[in-house]
Copies of this chain bind each other. A is one copy, B any other.
Amino acid sequence: MAATTKERIMDTTAELFRRYGYTGTGLKQIVADARAPFGSIYHHFPGGKEQLAREVILRSGRMYQELFETILGAAPDVVTGVSDLFAGAAELLRQTGYADACPIATVELEVASSNEPLRMATAEVFESWIEAGTARFAAAGMPEEKARELAIVLIANLEGAFILSRAMRDTEPVRIAGATTIAALQAALPNAQRAS
């Protein structure tokens, strides 16, 4: 099934945000890359670039969260699931020439002190990811508060490692951040849930 114009615009915008950031992405480039008429942006997003960015941030956030749920759901235990997640992230970075990382982090650092509606959209995404991680880790037997801490450890390590790996063109930071997260996870899990 062919993507609608609105979907093409949002996919293209997410891709451009990953590569050039929010400020560096222009509406003209979005419509050109999405093969859409210029007016279609204001038709689908009456609030212009800011509304488009907000919807792209929230939609990308949901897509990454679904990916997280899929990977964790397919693994026999949370430790294996988190290990698969970091391995997949490292492989994707390598395959895309270190371009395809998280568009939300890039936009967030640009807008955190200059665009309150977009800053709030990124906060909404991160809070939603933290809740998803908390639910997974609590289901593996951790107290709620500890599960939330571990969800923050996971996201901070993944985002921080993306920064280093993209700069250094090397998957080493992602690999090390994965090992750090897994060690923290194993220390917080009840004995019976720890993978060997």
Contact = CB atoms under 8 A, between A and B. Distances in A.
A117 to B, nearest CB: 13
B23 A168 contact: no
Interface of A: 18-21, 23-24, 97-99, 101, 105-106, 108-110, 112-114, 119, 122-123, 126-127, 149, 152-153, 155-164, 166-169, 172-173, 176-177, 179-180, 183-184, 187
A99 B113 contact: yes
Contact of A152 (B21, B114, B176): B176
B110 A110 contact: yes
A115 B16 CA distance: 14
Q: Which applies to chain A's interface (DSSP): helix, strand, loop or mixed?
A: helix
A17 B98 CA distance: 22
25 contacts: A19-B114, A20-B113, A24-B110, A24-B114, A97-B113, A99-B113, A108-B166, A108-B167, A109-B166, A110-B110, A112-B166, A122-B167, A123-B167, A127-B168, A152-B164, A152-B173, A152-B176, A156-B161, A156-B180, A157-B160, A157-B180, A159-B163, A160-B161, A160-B163, A180-B184
